[in-house]
């Protein structure tokens, strides 16, 4: 059996010839469908939202009721040191500069929360507290070093009585890069109970432990270039499948990673099938933004292998050039999994099986199947777009629904106590309203 036939035989969409139906079969089938329909409507009116609806209409899951949470956003002026986490020690790191690139989520989430209807200016009524920070950008631009980041975070949270009250459980931090919360060296001591928003669910390649906890933290989409996500004309338009030059591509640096190096070697063996250029991120050979997306759209499949960490921006970018993303990162975590079935809109391939077998498999998938996957992806990609949470489908809308699931009616820590009348006190029986700053931290 040829490789192409092998993969078609394994496909759930490959049909063998079925025996002819008799009239008895047809009547029985009709009765079964009718009975199933009425029992489904009678016993489980919500069950129709399962299956493919998870892919096509996740907004049905999140749109049946209004968001009800209230979030307090800390202002830089109210806490000494917070402005340093935003703009660096000298205040020279700008919001505009930090909006660019894959780390722009730290700015966008802050900006949209300031504009959100869910924002409250009263700490006493807040369900959650957002701590704004652009530390990844500030670090990359020389505004803060690792020691300064660590010391400033500790200084900031020591001025937050509500953080002390809950042990940090109702406080939100954004860490937008592959390093995750490890940007804050002492995260495990101070914010190990807080809600962390990050695209990174692993980061075990250089650390002994991951900072991501699936029960409290939230995976967020990466920051795709605004020029590709805006409504109307985008930087580049998708190409029809027959006009695409390559079967697959990988556009990224090798970074010495085994999976990426295998793809580069595979491209040398099959240059007509796999495009894998030696990308330069500086100098005259660097691909401009438009050129990058023109390359990305020229394949049916966009390969997204693991790099320094398990998440990759190429997974999200592929939806906007309409190629099928192929995840080659075993530990990857993906956003909004409670409403999106990723098996319908992407492929995940074992990183241990990168070789000719991968290309044979991709080549065996008919164009009509590729078009079906792309069409489903087109319906859900709005969840990767950072826009207002008032939009029916946006990354911020999804994040808000995920945050609402984290809201607790009651918060306490090992250093908070309460009396018979419900008043909250510390270990010295001082009422919460009279706690003095800085509050003690672990």
Q: What is the pLDDT of residues 68-88, one digit of tens each?
A: 999 999 999 999 999 999 999
Q: Are residues 213 and 236 in the same domain?
A: no
How are strands ordered across the β-sheet holding 299-305?
274-275, 246-249, 299-305, 324-328, 347-348
Answer yes or no: is 442 within a domain. Answer: no
Q: How confident is the model at residue 419 (pLDDT cuts 50, 70, 90)?
A: very high
Q: How confident is the model at residue 278 (pLDDT cuts 50, 70, 90)?
A: confident
Q: Are residues 240 and 254 in the same domain?
A: yes
Q: How confident is the model at residue 255 (pLDDT cuts 50, 70, 90)?
A: confident
- Cβ atoms of 326 and 304 within 8 Å: the answer is yes
Average pLDDT over residues 317-343: 94
Does pLDDT of 205 surpass 60? no
Task: List, as own/partner pairs, every contact residues 201-206 make where C-beta atoms lie below 8 angstroms and the sequence separation is at least 24, other chains included.
Answer: 201/310, 201/311, 201/331, 201/332, 201/333, 202/309, 202/310, 202/311, 202/331, 202/332, 202/333, 203/178, 203/179, 203/309, 203/310, 204/331, 205/308, 205/309, 206/308
Answer yes or no: is 440 within a domain. Answer: no
Answer yes or no: is 54 within a domain. Answer: no
Give the per-residue pLDDT at 237: 92
Q: Are residues 214 and 89 in the same domain?
A: yes
Answer yes or no: is 338 within a domain. Answer: yes
Q: How confident is the model at residue 25 (pLDDT cuts 50, 70, 90)?
A: low
Range scoring the smallest mean pLDDT among 45-59, 121-135, 300-314, 400-414? 45-59
Q: Which of 221, 278, 225 is nearest to 253 (CA)?
A: 278
Q: Which domain holds residue 184?
A: 71-223+407-434
Q: Are residues 249 and 350 in the same domain?
A: yes
Q: Are residues 312 and 348 in the same domain?
A: yes
pTM of the model: 0.85
**Domain count of the fold of the chain:** 2
Does pLDDT of 231 surpass 80? no
Does pLDDT of 404 surpass 50? yes
Mean pLDDT of the chain: 86
Give the per-residue pLDDT at 42: 37
183's CB contacts (< 8 A; 6+ apart) are 135, 136, 139, 149, 175, 177
Range scoring the smallest mean pLDDT among 291-295, 307-311, 404-408, 432-436? 307-311
Q: Which of 109, 225, 269, 91 is nearest to 175 (CA)?
A: 109
**In the chain, what is the greatest distance between 2 CA atoms, to the nearest angstrom?**
83
Give the per-residue pLDDT at 53: 37
Q: Are residues 187 and 329 in the same domain?
A: no
Answer yes or no: is 240 within a domain. Answer: yes
CA 225 – CA 397 distance, rounded (Å): 19
Does pLDDT of 317 surpass 70? yes
Q: Are residues 271 and 419 in the same domain?
A: no
Q: How confident is the model at residue 411 (pLDDT cuts 50, 70, 90)?
A: confident
Average pLDDT over residues 281-304: 86
Q: Are residues 163 and 208 in the same domain?
A: yes
Q: Are residues 175 and 268 in the same domain?
A: no
Average pLDDT over residues 111-133: 97
Higher-confidence residue of 35 and 53: namely 35
Q: Are residues 146 and 205 in the same domain?
A: yes
Range scoring the smallest mean pLDDT among 269-273, 282-286, 306-310? 282-286
Answer yes or no: is 392 within a domain. Answer: no
Give the per-residue pLDDT at 61: 60
CA 343 – CA 62 distance, rounded (Å): 20
Q: How confident is the model at residue 160 (pLDDT cuts 50, 70, 90)?
A: very high
- Cβ atoms of 370 and 347 within 8 Å: the answer is no
Answer yes or no: is 8 within a domain. Answer: no
Which helix (H) or strand (E) segment is 218 a member of? strand 218-219
Q: Say how far residue 128 (Cα) sits from the centre of its chain.
A: 20
Q: Are residues 235 and 179 in the same domain?
A: no
How does 248-269 read in b/e, with b if 16+ C-beta sit within 10 Å? bbbbbebeebebbebbeebbee
Give the per-residue pLDDT at 15: 44
Q: How confident is the model at residue 441 (pLDDT cuts 50, 70, 90)?
A: confident
Answer yes or no: is 160 within a domain. Answer: yes
Average pLDDT over residues 414-432: 93
Q: Are residues 353 and 318 in the same domain?
A: yes
Q: How confident is the model at residue 250 (pLDDT cuts 50, 70, 90)?
A: very high
């Amino acid at each position: 059996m040829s490789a192409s036939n092998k993969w078609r035989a394994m496909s759930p969409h490959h049909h063998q010839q079925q025996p002819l139906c008799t009239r008895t079969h047809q009547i029985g089938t009709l009765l079964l469908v009718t009975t199933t329909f009425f029992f489904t409507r009678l016993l489980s009116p919500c069950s129709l939202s399962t299956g493919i609806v998870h892919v096509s209409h996740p907004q049905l899951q999140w749109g049946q009721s209004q968001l009800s949470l209230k979030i307090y956003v800390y202002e830089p002026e109210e806490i000494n040191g917070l402005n340093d986490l935003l703009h660096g020690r000298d205040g020279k790191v700008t919001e505009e500069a930090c909006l660019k690139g894959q780390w722009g989520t730290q700015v966008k989430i802050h900006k949209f929360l300031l504009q959100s209807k869910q924002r409250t200016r009263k700490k006493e009524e807040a369900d959650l507290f957002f701590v704004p920070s652009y530390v990844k950008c500030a670090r990359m631009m020389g505004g803060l070093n690792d020691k300064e980041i660590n010391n400033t975070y500790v200084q900031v949270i020591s001025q937050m009585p509500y953080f002390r009250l809950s042990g940090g459980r109702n406080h939100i931090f954004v860490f937008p890069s592959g390093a995750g919360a490890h940007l804050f060296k002492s995260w495990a001591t101070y914010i190990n109970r807080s809600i962390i928003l990050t695209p990174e669910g692993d980061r075990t390649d250089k650390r002994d432990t991951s900072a991501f906890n699936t029960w409290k933290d939230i995976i967020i989409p990466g920051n795709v270039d605004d020029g590709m996500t805006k409504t109307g004309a985008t930087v580049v338009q998708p190409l029809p499948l027959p006009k695409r030059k390559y079967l697959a591509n990988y556009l990224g640096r090798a970074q010495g990673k085994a999976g990426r190096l295998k793809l580069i070697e595979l491209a040398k063996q099959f240059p007509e099938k796999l495009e894998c250029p030696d990308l330069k991120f500086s100098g005259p050979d660097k691909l401009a933004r438009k050129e990058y997306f023109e390359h990305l759209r020229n394949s049916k499949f966009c390969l997204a292998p693991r790099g320094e960490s398990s998440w990759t921006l190429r997974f999200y970018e592929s939806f906007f050039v309409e190629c099928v993303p192929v995840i080659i990162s075993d530990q990857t975590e993906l956003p909004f999994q409670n409403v999106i079935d990723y098996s319908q809109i992407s492929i995940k391939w074992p990183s241990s099986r990168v070789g000719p077998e991968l290309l044979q498999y991709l080549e065996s998938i008919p164009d009509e199947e590729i078009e079906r996957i792309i069409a489903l992806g087109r319906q859900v990609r709005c969840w990767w777009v950072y826009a207002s949470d008032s939009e029916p489908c946006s990354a911020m809308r999804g994040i808000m629904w995920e945050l609402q699931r984290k809201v607790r009616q009651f918060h306490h820590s090992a250093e908070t106590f309460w009396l018979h009348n419900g008043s909250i006190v510390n270990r010295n029986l001082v009422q919460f309203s009279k706690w003095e700053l800085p509050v003690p931290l672990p």
